Structure 1
Amino acid sequence: MRRHAIRPRAWLRRAALLVLLLAAWLWPWLARAAAGPAGPIVRVDVGAHQPVLVGQQVGIDVTILAPNYFLSAPEFPPLAVPGAVVTLPDARAVNSTETIDGVAYAGIRKTYAFTAEQDGDFRLPAATIRVTYAGDDGAPREGSVTLPLTTIRVGTGGTGTAAAGATAGRRLLPVARLSVTQTLDHNPDHGVVRLHAGDALVRTVTTFAPQTQAMMIVPPHAASPRGVRMFRADARLSDQAQGDQAQAAPEPGGTRIDTLTYVFERPGTYTLPAVTVDWVDPATRRPTSSEAPAVKVEVAAARNAGALAPGGPSAGALPGAGGLPWRTLLWGAVALLGVALLALLWRRLRPRLARLRQRRAERRRARAGGAEARLAATLRACRAGDAAAASQALGDWTRAAHGTTPAAWAEAAGDAALADAVTGLQRHLYGAVPVPSAWDGNPLAQALGRHARPAPQRRRHAAPALPPLNP
């Protein structure tokens, strides 16, 4: 009797264990079915160990994932963080695909550049990004993601030198190992540049900062010896290494090019001081500097200094001046007066010229950013077979000309061929299964030509002349 009473209880325990295992196995599917269809996802990754240094540029990767594929590229907004500089470099987005809980997602990643100007904890704003993607039935769907709470801790690591440089009124130093090179427009002869009085020497100093934007590089320290005038041109900034600098530093970074012109008025031997650039060593976290070496210059007398009339002093020499020609003094006074007038005129006209150049640049940007220019860029990308450029240009054109996305505009146009071409472009770029063949943009270009061609202007026909009243 006891054995018959124990067996049903053991069977019940085994059945309960099987039910629990089956429920655990089905739980992900049941949870996903209860939650409804999958939606877009956003991730934020800070590409540096915290705390970071003041002045150190940090990459912040923002990845947006959407089910199936994107119908248009999302617009990444600017991020404003008090006490820090946050920029979005003009670089192409990185596309990816992955599967999450059995759902295929397409991803787009952009990287922000974050540089703190002081110590403390910085929080990224909870910006909202709208997303247009394809549903399970292929129809367009609208969604949005909000950046999660992300905190970046910034500290000086105990030295306090980087922060002190910022708070003392000086410009913030970049935290990167800078390299400085220089070139001269005159080739040195055995380490010495040989010139004549009145000549000029152009010194070009190039500074490269790895993993740092060019705007963060401080201007170099340059001086001129007594008796030498120095003129500094506006610096040229670039966020991509070029030329020899690109071969020396394959990693991305910023380049600053400063042009210094030295004018030597008197003969003699001069030494142009070394040009130094300040930065903070990321390893030791202490300020240091890089430099371009000093330049030695020997200046001889002017080429026409001894061109006097034969037989003695010039007939036009000024009495009591040791034979100094009065014509030289006269022309020198006229030249100085002319330079003073030109300087005064330039000082008055420079603000007006700057405003005129700014207006002209704004008009050029407006023309380049107009709807016609964006449509022309779309057609060029289609004919070239560049799917990424065509998608970006098509999205810009539809937003500027119609205020909507490419998929919504194609659907409203009522052209099946146009809708198929737009969908094919997005599936080629953002589809979960990559397409091995090259993209053919001719169908999309032809469809755009049918719907985006501007309406021809009607010519006004002159009214026929009235017949004479009294024939």
Structure 2
Amino acid sequence: MLALLLLMLAGPLAAQEAAPSAAASPAAAPSAAPPVVVREGLDPASGAVVGQHVTLHVDVLFPGAMAHPPRVSLPDVPGLQIIRFETQGTTMRESIGGNAYVGQRFEFALYPRRGGGFDIPPAAVTLLDREGGETGSAQGQQARLEVSVPPGVDASQPVVATRRLTLDEQWAPVPTGRFKAGDAVVRTVTRSAEDIPGLAMRDLDIAAPDGVRVYADPPDIEDRSNRGVVTGRRVDRITYVFAQGGRFVLPAMAQPWWDLGTRSLKSAAAAAVTVDVAATPAAAGGAGHGSWRRLAWPAIGLAVLIVLAWGAWQVRARRRARGADPERAAFAALRRACAGTDADEIYRRFSSWTSQLPPQRRQAANCEAGTLQAALFAAGTPPWTHEDSRLLLAGLETLRRRHPPAGPPAALPPLNPATPAHGVGWKVSS
């Protein structure tokens, strides 16, 4: 009887002791904050054509407050040229499920280089604390982009799809009047397109008729961004040297493009030009004629050498005007190598360029060139193509725009510097 009484008393006591423990457990565990929200979207969501600028929006939203803007990156996608501009980042505030969220929208510019479907992997988001240290990661969702090839468009060449494209040319000297054998003219063709990078514009056909030698400088390519809108500009300089007299037709130059406004195929062109070139006059008489012919060809050759030397001097002058330095010269050599498909030569030029960079920028460049290294050193990798060269150069151009190199160092350091001198680095954009 006594044991039964003790058992009955122990039950309520045990329940009273267990109740506070059960009530305390939810309070002890921290309440889970709503997760970081990552959303992705394409603009236009459908109806894109090859060569058109497609915007990929990546929204990153934090519950309550955002300690620091995150880092957002997008993996490479074969057949897509991807450009990210660091100045983009629009602050957003939303209410999701009754909770206040704040964050930023990031934009990537996508340029499809072929028709068909593209599976775009989720964007990788690195979360940062107030001091910029990494605190975690998140990712978005895979996106599907369908791209069509409009009728009449040759997708085997770089395609430009825009709402506005211009082509202008200038001659020095103007190809009117008469020239004589050994003279030369320089043709400068400038193309500019709205919402298209300059690298997307195709190489010009620089063929010349018999009796005319033709030389082309490496193109000057410049892209400018204003509030997410890219304006691409490409300048080509072609030199024609007339080796003999006659009438020569220098061919027309054309840039085909797809007009997104009228949905029609157009072509911006510079007309062909006819140039009259006088032959070197011959002296009368057989002996005199032969003597003059013997003198004429060395004179023409000397004139050609003078023109080439003048052209080389002009190129060097332009480079000096742009403040050329070892980094710029090395990158110019890399750009020329990327005009072809020799992966070994491209890698040699790439290594020469990265040797001019500080360690942090060199590491970023090596990450950008992963496909090149795989083509050279990984087994079973497909042969390197013009498309691979174009995409690699586009990525490296974007890296240089994101962190432009500093100008060439001063010839001599300042006397009695206040602080120790540092090596040449990169200007980091804010």
TM-score w.r.t. structure 2 length?
0.57
8 Å CA contact 2:126, 2:134 repeated in 1: no
Amino acid at match of 1:181: D
Partner of 1:174: 160
- C-alpha separation in 1, matches of 2:357 and 2:65: 32
Amino acid at match of 1:328: L
Amino acid at match of 1:107: Q
How far residue 368 of structure 1 moved from its aligned partner, in angstroms, is 7.9
How far residue 198 of structure 1 moved from its aligned partner, in angstroms, is 0.9
Amino acid at match of 2:291: L
Partner-residue secondary structure (3-state), 1:280 = strand
RMSD: 4.5
Partner-residue secondary structure (3-state), 1:369 = helix
Partner of 1:195: 179
Partner-residue secondary structure (3-state), 1:322 = helix
How far residue 62 of structure 1 moved from its aligned partner, in angstroms, is 1.5
- C-alpha separation in 2, matches of 1:56 and 1:93: 20
Partner of 2:48: 52
8 Å CA contact 1:238, 1:255 repeated in 2: yes
8 Å CA contact 2:249, 2:273 repeated in 1: yes
- C-alpha separation in 2, matches of 1:335 and 1:141: 65
8 Å CA contact 1:65, 1:105 repeated in 2: yes
TM-aligned CA distance change 1:231 to 1:39, over 3 Å: same
How far residue 355 of structure 1 moved from its aligned partner, in angstroms, is 7.8
Partner-residue secondary structure (3-state), 1:324 = helix
- C-alpha separation in 2, matches of 1:359 and 1:287: 41
User: Which segments of 5 or more consecutive residues in structure 2 lack a partner in the other structure?
Assistant: 1-29, 307-336, 364-401, 404-418, 423-430
- C-alpha separation in 2, matches of 1:322 and 1:225: 27
Amino acid at match of 1:299: V
* 1:113 paired to 2:110: yes
Q: How does 1:339-358 map to 2 (within 5 A)?
A: 358=350
8 Å CA contact 2:69, 2:104 repeated in 1: no
* 1:324 paired to 2:321: no
- C-alpha separation in 2, matches of 1:227 and 1:123: 51
Residue by residue over 1:375-416, the C-alpha shift from the partner in whole angstroms, topping out at 9 and shown as x without a partner, is: xxxxxxxxxxxxxxxxx99xxxxxxxxxxxxxxxxxxxxxxx
Greater shift in the superposed pair: 255-264 or 63-72: 63-72
Over 6 Å off, 4+ runs:
138-141, 332-336, 350-356
Amino acid at match of 2:260: P
Q: How does 1:217-256 map to 2 (within 5 A)?
A: 217-240=201-224, 252-256=230-234
2:361 to 357, 362, 369: 369
8 Å CA contact 2:113, 2:159 repeated in 1: no
8 Å CA contact 1:46, 1:58 repeated in 2: yes
Tell me which of the two structures has the higher relative contact order, counting C-alpha pairs closer than 8 angstroms and 6 or more residues apart: 1
Counting aligned pairs with the same residue, the percent is: 22
Specify the structure having the higher radius of gyration (Cα).
1
How far residue 38 of structure 1 moved from its aligned partner, in angstroms, is 3.5
- C-alpha separation in 2, matches of 1:173 and 1:233: 23
How far residue 200 of structure 1 moved from its aligned partner, in angstroms, is 1.2
Partner of 1:144: 137
The structure with the greater share of residues assigned to strand is: 2
User: Which segments of 5 or more consecutive residues in structure 1 lack a partner in the other structure?
Assistant: 1-33, 314-318, 340-349, 372-391, 394-449, 455-471
TM-aligned CA distance change 1:356 to 1:54, over 3 Å: closer
8 Å CA contact 2:53, 2:195 repeated in 1: yes
- C-alpha separation in 1, matches of 2:347 and 2:128: 41
Partner of 2:62: 66
Partner of 2:37: 41
Partner of 1:183: 170
8 Å CA contact 1:55, 1:115 repeated in 2: yes
Partner-residue secondary structure (3-state), 2:75 = coil
TM-aligned CA distance change 1:152 to 1:193, over 3 Å: farther
How far residue 251 of structure 1 moved from its aligned partner, in angstroms, is 5.5
- C-alpha separation in 2, matches of 1:144 and 1:357: 35
Residue by residue over 1:423-456, the C-alpha shift from the partner in whole angstroms, topping out at 9 and shown as x without a partner, is: xxxxxxxxxxxxxxxxxxxxxxxxxxx9x999xx
